[in-house]
Chains A and B, each alone.
Chain A
Amino acid sequence: MANFFKNLFVRNSKLTTDQLIVKKTIISFFFFFLLSGAAFWGWKWLQGQSSDGAFGSGIKPPLRTVLNKNEKFFNNWLSDKHLAKAFPLSAAAKNVRVNGDLGLGNNFDPATWKLYVIKAKGDTLALTLDDIKKLPKTEIIFDFKCIEGWSQVTHWGGVKFSDFVKAYGLTAETSMKYLGLNTPDEEYYVGIDMPSAMHPQTLLCYEMNGQPLPMNQGYPLRLIIPVKYGIKSIKRIGTMYFDNERPPDYWAERGYDYFSGL
């Protein structure tokens, strides 16, 4: 055994082949285990990080740092010219999947619903569904993608968010970085970066398959934003506001990507 370690300090040329084999093997395995240990320690360090934070709880901060960089990196591709693929009407599902009811309960009264657009403190627009319906209508048939991994070709109709902005003179507000949307009961809420909100396929949607939205799809008005996962397509919009800081986002608070862009 002692020879093992003695030979580590003997020059290679002075060793027999057998001794050299042992020496080289020991040295290589030493570094192999050292680096394996370092990798393991790195993993343990990551696991030991606290995952509580204002944004993205449940996600380790070092991971979140990289994910934020990912968002920035892949945002470079975001373009009004990159459109979600449009499908023919025949491809649209008749039975549209319902995947969540957050913000849809609490004794909602359709008769009193209004869309409140908070332009500034004390300056709020209150719009009825008819106010929105009289704007030019846009329809889209696209592959709706859920963050869970499923997708479904569905048919929606409404007003382009960018048309809505023009019609109601919100251009100044949309120079801010983010759009915030809440359900009337404020149980569900999303934040959306303005370039994605202004994307030509983003709709304030009031129709599905040519009919008014069903209750479980967010009657009377929901968002359809094909450049993002479905978690951002909030059902039943109650209030709309603008901010330079990230508005709170229900699923981002539960560890999902804030941008969730596709």
Chain B
Amino acid sequence: MKKIVKKHPLAIRWFHWVNFPVLAIMIWSGLLIYWANDVYKVGFGDKTLLKFFPDSFYKAFNIPFRLAEGMAYHFVFMWLFFINGFAYVLYTVISGEWRYLLPNRHSFKEAWQVLLHDLRIRKAKPPQGKYNAAQRVAYSAIIVMGIGSVITGLAIYKPVQLWWLCAICGGYAFARIIHFVLTIGYSLFFVIHIIQVILAGWNNFRAMITGFEVEKTKDDIPVVPSSLSEAVPVAQAVPVTQAGPDEEQPAN
């Protein structure tokens, strides 16, 4: 027996899919800007482990000598990025969706269990719900990161007029570092997000477009916690859904 269960409201699907290309354009145009002063690297002492970015990377994405163009795109699409993000936060607050998204007091412990489970270290599956604990932490963190990008971005954009904002960010040069690190964060988020979506499968992915998930239930088995199932007479259980005859079933 299958059952259609509403998962993502239309508004959230819009915000999600608008954000995807807009953030991509922000990261790309950000690279065009960063190239003009590409001083960041990871290493210790004189040893460089990772240079942001190798010339081959710049070449592959046609980055060099496009600073003016990068600034133009960045300072146009920043509005879409901001408005979409702001509307999303506003929506989650007003609709009550925030209840599924904000971590609660169990989340941080459970998020750890999700990680161990996903890495095949821990067998037991942590509670999923609409979003599991790791998702709650990740999806809330990404909003904090977004706010951080807007604040540090404004601090770099108008460091004299918004001098107080620049000061909060630890000065001009440090604000630029935070802004950059947050972008690396988005890129890592994106990679993990894609892997998780692939692992979670079609039903989960479809929900981000259609809004619903398909739940499989068995007709006669009551949906009750296993510890209670012996105590509850089977006959009292009511099937969760009623569905028409399965004639003319389209091939999936």
A203 to chain B, nearest CB (A): 15
Which residue on chain B has the smallest CB distance to residue A146?
B37
Q: Which B7-51 residues have a C-beta within 8 angstroms of A?
A: 17, 21, 33-34, 36-37, 39
Cα separation A63 to B172 with both chains bound (whole Å): 26
Residues of B within 8 A of A20 (CB): 4
Cα separation A74 to B165 with both chains bound (whole Å): 15
Name the one of A3, A85, A145 contacting B250, with C-beta atoms under 8 angstroms. A3
Residues of B within 8 A of A240 (CB): none
In the complex, the number of residue pairs spanning A and B with C-beta atoms less than 8 Å apart equals 127
Residues of A within 8 A of B246 (CB): 16, 18
Residues of B within 8 A of A261 (CB): 158, 160-161
Cross-chain contact B172 with A22 (CB below 8 angstroms) = no
Residues of B within 8 A of A28 (CB): 209-211
Cα separation A255 to B36 with both chains bound (whole Å): 15
Residues of A within 8 A of B173 (CB): 151
Residues of A within 8 A of B241 (CB): 17
Which residue on chain A has the smallest CB distance to residue B14?
A35
Cα separation A39 to B4 with both chains bound (whole Å): 30
Residues of B within 8 A of A4 (CB): 250
Cross-chain contact A32 with B209 (CB below 8 angstroms) = yes
Cross-chain contact A18 with B2 (CB below 8 angstroms) = yes
Interface centre among A21, A83, A257 (most CB of B within 10 A): A21
Cross-chain contact B163 with A85 (CB below 8 angstroms) = yes
Cα separation A262 to B162 with both chains bound (whole Å): 9
Interface string of B221-252 (1 = CB under 8 A from A): 00000000000000000000101111111101
Q: Which B205-220 residues have a C-beta within 8 angstroms of A?
A: 206, 209-212, 214
Which residue on chain B has the smallest CB distance to residue A66?
B76
Name the one of A15, A29, A143, A147 contacting B209, with C-beta atoms under 8 angstroms. A29
Residues of B within 8 A of A148 (CB): 36-37, 67
Residues of B within 8 A of A254 (CB): 68
Instruction: Give the total of B residues in contact with A, Cβ under 8 Å.
Output: 49
Cα separation A20 to B76 with both chains bound (whole Å): 42
Query: Does B193 sit within 8 A of A, measured CB to CB?
Result: no
Query: Does B69 sit within 8 A of A, measured CB to CB?
Result: yes
Cross-chain contact B4 with A21 (CB below 8 angstroms) = yes
Cross-chain contact B210 with A29 (CB below 8 angstroms) = yes
Cα separation A85 to B33 with both chains bound (whole Å): 24
Residues of A within 8 A of B206 (CB): 25
Cross-chain contact B72 with A19 (CB below 8 angstroms) = no
Residues of B within 8 A of A77 (CB): 158, 161-162
Residues of B within 8 A of A143 (CB): 159, 171-172
Query: Does A117 sit within 8 A of B, measured CB to CB?
Result: no
Interface residues on A, range: 35 or more
Cα separation A61 to B1 with both chains bound (whole Å): 56
B162 to chain A, nearest CB (A): 7
B98 to chain A, nearest CB (A): 24
Name the one of B72, B167, B248 contacting A67, with C-beta atoms under 8 angstroms. B72
Cross-chain contact B214 with A21 (CB below 8 angstroms) = yes
Cα separation A60 to B167 with both chains bound (whole Å): 34
Query: Does A133 sit within 8 A of B, measured CB to CB?
Result: no
Interface string of A157-170 (1 = CB under 8 A from B): 00000000000000
Residues of A within 8 A of B1 (CB): 17
Cross-chain contact A151 with B75 (CB below 8 angstroms) = no
Interface string of A206-228 (1 = CB under 8 A from B): 00000000000000000000110
A36 to chain B, nearest CB (A): 8
Cα separation A85 to B172 with both chains bound (whole Å): 10
Name the one of B37, B71, B159 contacting A262, with C-beta atoms under 8 angstroms. B159
Cross-chain contact A150 with B37 (CB below 8 angstroms) = yes
Query: Does B176 sit within 8 A of A, measured CB to CB?
Result: yes
Interface centre among A18, A22, A25 (most CB of B within 10 A): A18
Cross-chain contact A19 with B248 (CB below 8 angstroms) = yes
Cross-chain contact B176 with A149 (CB below 8 angstroms) = yes
30 contacts between A and B (CB under 8 A): A4-B250, A17-B1, A17-B241, A17-B243, A18-B246, A18-B252, A24-B4, A24-B212, A25-B206, A29-B210, A43-B21, A63-B72, A67-B76, A70-B75, A77-B162, A82-B161, A82-B163, A83-B160, A85-B163, A145-B159, A147-B36, A147-B71, A150-B37, A151-B172, A227-B160, A251-B68, A255-B68, A255-B69, A257-B71, A261-B161
Q: A74-B158, A77-B162, A256-B71 given. 7 additional CB < 8 A pairs?
A: A18-B249, A22-B252, A63-B76, A79-B161, A149-B37, A150-B39, A251-B68
